Structure formats: structure tokens, C-alpha cells
């Protein structure tokens, strides 16, 4: 279908890729737990935009350029690791207030959109993943349109999964509000998870 080889396997592989938790997932769940569905969806849009840019860069050959220039690849990895650790540290040190959202928090959709976008863009391994992933399911005679269709599939499936994640996460967060310390614990765990992802990325960059 659409010159995509093993179409069913391609769709299943994309879904499995989404099920693997990563820094983007933590960013989406953190935004949802702190500010609700609207902010969670803003983080989803940031993640999707970042992933789309990475897919486009992979298709355009940026991955080959980065492989030819290891210093550029390492610089992006170090920047991404540092940014994840900084986000995690902010979650660890920021007081968690269960009271009504402040005036500053009301502008948070843009803040969490930018954070999720940055998390996605500072993981250069995403480019290499798509470079390795797409050729597995593309026919030798396929045109550029096939790659565009594959990118659209990844984006739509990611949107459906991540939007569902926001809805489920919002329900769970609402129920946890009955526990006074639940929000604080969840926020701190999210901070530790982001720092963990950052340190792992830094370790792989050595």
C-alpha cells in the first residue's frame, strides 16, 4: 500500500515505537499532570513538530551530514543531555502548589510546547532512527511521495497515541488530587526521569 513494503508491519512498528517511554513522553505527562488537557496537548504538538522536523531532516540527508561530522552530532547530544537535566532539576526544585493556577501558569501552553519541541529537537538519535527505520519498509522503486506518506503515517499515529496518553494521564492526575502528596511525588519522579534520560544520553556521548 502506497509503495510501503509490509504495510501492516510498518504500522505496528510505529505503534511499538510510541509505546517505548522516552523524554518526550515524560514531558507530555508532566504538562498534563500539572495543567490539564489543554497544556498536555500543547506538549503533544511540540513533540510532533520536533519529530516531523527530525523526519524531514533524515529524509533530506542531514543524518549523513552528521555522520560525516561527528563533532556536530556530539555537540547536539551534549546540548540535549544538558537541557533534559536542566528541565529535571527545575521540576525537583520548583515548589509544587496544589492551589489554583497563577496568572503565569495560564500562559503555560506555549511554555510546554516549546519545552517539548526542544526535547524532541535535541535528540539527534531520532534522525538516525528514521534513517534506519524507513528503508526497512520502502520499495526499491518508490518515489519521494512514498516517504511523505510514511512521514504522515508516523505523525498521525503519534498524534492519536499521544492525545490518548494526555486524556488517560489527565484522568489519573485528577484522581490523584485526592492524595495531598501525589502531585508532588509525581512531579519529583518526572524530574528524576528527565535527569536520568539526560545522563543516559550524556553517557552514550562519551
| pLDDT one-digit tens code per residue, 182-191 | 667 777 887 8
Domain positions in the chain are 13-204
Distance CA 9, CA 157 (A): 14
Report the candidate in 117, 133, 114 with the shortest Cα–Cα distance to residue 125.
133
Q: What is the pTM of this model?
A: 0.75
| pLDDT per position as a tens digit, 74-125 | 777 788 778 878 878 887 887 765 444 444 445 578 899 998 999 888 877 6
Amino acid at each position: 500500500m502506497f509503495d510501503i513494503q509490509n504495510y501492516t508491519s510498518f504500522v505496528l512498528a510505529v505503534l511499538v515505537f510510541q509505546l517505548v517511554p522516552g523524554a518526550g513522553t515524560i514531558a507530555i505527562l508532566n504538562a498534563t499532570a500539572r495543567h490539564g488537557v489543554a497544556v498536555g496537548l500543547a506538549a503533544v504538538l511540540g513533540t510532533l513538530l520536533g519529530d516531523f522536523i527530525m523526519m524531514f531532516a533524515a529524509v533530506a540527508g542531514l543524518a549523513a551530514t552528521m555522520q560525516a561530522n561527528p563533532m556536530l552530532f556530539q555537540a547536539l547530544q551534549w546540548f540535549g543531555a544538558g537541557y533534559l537535566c536542566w528541565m529535571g532539576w527545575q521540576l525537583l526544585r520548583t515548589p509544587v502548589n496544589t492551589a489554583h493556577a497563577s496568572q503565569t501558569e495560564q500562559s503555560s501552553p506555549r511554555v510546554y510546547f516549546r519545552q517539548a519541541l526542544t526535547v524532541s529537537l535535541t535528540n539527534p538519535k531520532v534522525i538516525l532512527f528514521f534513517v534506519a527505520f524507513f528503508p526497512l519498509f520502502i520499495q526499491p522503486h518508490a518515489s519521494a511521495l512514498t516517504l511523505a506518506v510514511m512521514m504522515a503515517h508516523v505523525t498521525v499515529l503519534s498524534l492519536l497515541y499521544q492525545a490518548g496518553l494526555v486524556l488517560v494521564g489527565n484522568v489519573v492526575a485528577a484522581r490523584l488530587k485526592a492524595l495531598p502528596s501525589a502531585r508532588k511525588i509525581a512531579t519529583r519522579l518526572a524530574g528524576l526521569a528527565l535527569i536520568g534520560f539526560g545522563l543516559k544520553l550524556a553517557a552514550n556521548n562519551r
